[in-house]
Structure 1
Amino acid sequence: MTEIERKFLFKNTDFLKGIEGKRITQGYLSTDPERTVRVRIKSDQGFLTIKGKSNQSGLSRYEWEKEITIQEAEQLLQLCLPGVIDKTRYEVVIENHTWEIDIFHGENNGLLLAEIELQSEEEYFLKPEWLVKEVTGDVRYYNSYISAQPFSKW
């Protein structure tokens, strides 16, 4: 499956009041530029995800994901490279799109990212007023990058 997404920075979190977030812990078994292999625990669910290299625009890349047991995810996290990511994710629906809003903790504290998945690279979407700057395709904002190069050390 091809994943098409755009990423943005934001500053103000006031729009999240009253929305419950889910804590996410994730680590990487591989951060090879050609493919990343991620293990994620989201609340009480585990996932194994493989992502291919992004296309030239940074908008699209292959993604494969499978739900695994929480026990399997916990075991695989022990094998991950240093730099496990800790964040809280909120979902905000605007028109017919769901924005994934990530507030990072730990060594990535202060990083605020909003992502939207699209059906095509040209698909129209309403840009909320709280967006600051688009960072789609900037590898510094890939989770695999910040797991090794934390935001606090930039």
Structure 2
Amino acid sequence: MDDDRDDFEFERRFFCRELPEDLDDGDAPTLIVQSYFVHSDNYALRVRLQAEGVRRTMDAHTDALHVLMEERERFSAASLTAKGPVVGGTRYEAERPLDPGIATELVMRGGSLIVKNRYGIWLGEDWWNVDIFGGGNSPLAVAEVERSGPVTDLVIPPFCITEITNDARFSNDGLAERPYRTWARAFEDELRAKGSRFLNDFGPNRTLD
């Protein structure tokens, strides 16, 4: 029997300006196209496709469906995932593998799409993913760290501007429904007014030198 804990993700997420150049080792990131068929009240049903060794520009003109069609033969992994709301850095996430051909046909037929490049980097004690979004979510960059249990005593790299772990606006399903570019200016005003914040619910935060 599967451990029920396998259907939960434990992560912390951070708003960034960009991926620092010195953290890009030159290898192509993971290209991700995903579609949300349900995204309401932070519940979501997602179909995701991933391609390795593909470097696509992520800017405001990057169209998820066009990328999918142009690279469809290079998507080698896909999944179907059901998600629940985030509570204290924990989210129910039941992910199951899906045939990439079936996933492509599903995404082509509907849902709200997202396209992004994902960079994976060892920083301090943790493996970090940094997502660079295209299309309506450009120029958003989000860094996240995920563990098999609660993410405590985290060493936070300096390019992380503020924590968005519990901010539903920045969940991928939230971004699919309401792209970042439509409210980026309001968020920047909010950030200037309130300043950065980092959660202390998970033990002391440390800074990566």
- Residues 1:150 and 1:95: Cα distance change in structure 2 (over 3 Å): same
Output one character per residue of 1:116-135: Cα deviation in whole Å (capped at 9) or x when no partner. 11343352221112111111
1: CA distance, partners of 2:181 / 2:141 = 12
Query: 2:108 — aligned with what?
Result: 78
Output one character per residue of 1:15-59: Cα deviation in whole Å (capped at 9) or x when no partner. 33224311100001111326311000111211111111222x3x1
1: CA distance, partners of 2:138 / 2:129 = 17
Task: Name the structure where strand makes up a greater proportion of residues.
Answer: 1
Contact 2:13 2:164 in 1 (8 A): yes
Query: 1:15 — aligned with what?
Result: 22
Flag structure 1 segments of 5+ consecutive residues without an equivalent.
none
Mean Cα displacement is larger for which, 12-21 or 64-73? 12-21
Task: Name the structure where helix makes up a greater proportion of residues.
Answer: 2
TM-score (norm 1): 0.90
Query: 1:47 — aligned with what?
Result: 79
Query: 1:66 — aligned with what?
Result: 96
- Residues 1:129 and 1:79: Cα distance change in structure 2 (over 3 Å): same
Q: What secondary structure does 1:146 align onto?
A: helix
Moved over 6 A (4+): none
Contact 1:84 1:147 in 2 (8 A): yes
Q: What secondary structure does 1:15 align onto?
A: helix
Contact 1:54 1:61 in 2 (8 A): yes
Which AA in structure 1 matches 2:105? Answer: Q
Query: 1:153 — aligned with what?
Result: 182
2: CA distance, partners of 1:32 / 1:151 = 17
Contact 1:29 1:79 in 2 (8 A): no
What do you get for the CA RMSD once the two structures are aligned? 1.6
Match of 1:5 among 2, 8, 11: 11
TM-score (norm 2): 0.67
1: CA distance, partners of 2:165 / 2:181 = 20
Q: What secondary structure does 2:28 align onto?
A: coil
Flag structure 2 segments of 5+ consecutive residues without an equivalent.
1-6, 52-75, 184-209
2: CA distance, partners of 1:105 / 1:12 = 13
2: CA distance, partners of 1:34 / 1:151 = 16
- The structure number with the bigger radius of gyration is 2
* Count of aligned pairs between the two proteins: 151
2: CA distance, partners of 1:122 / 1:110 = 27
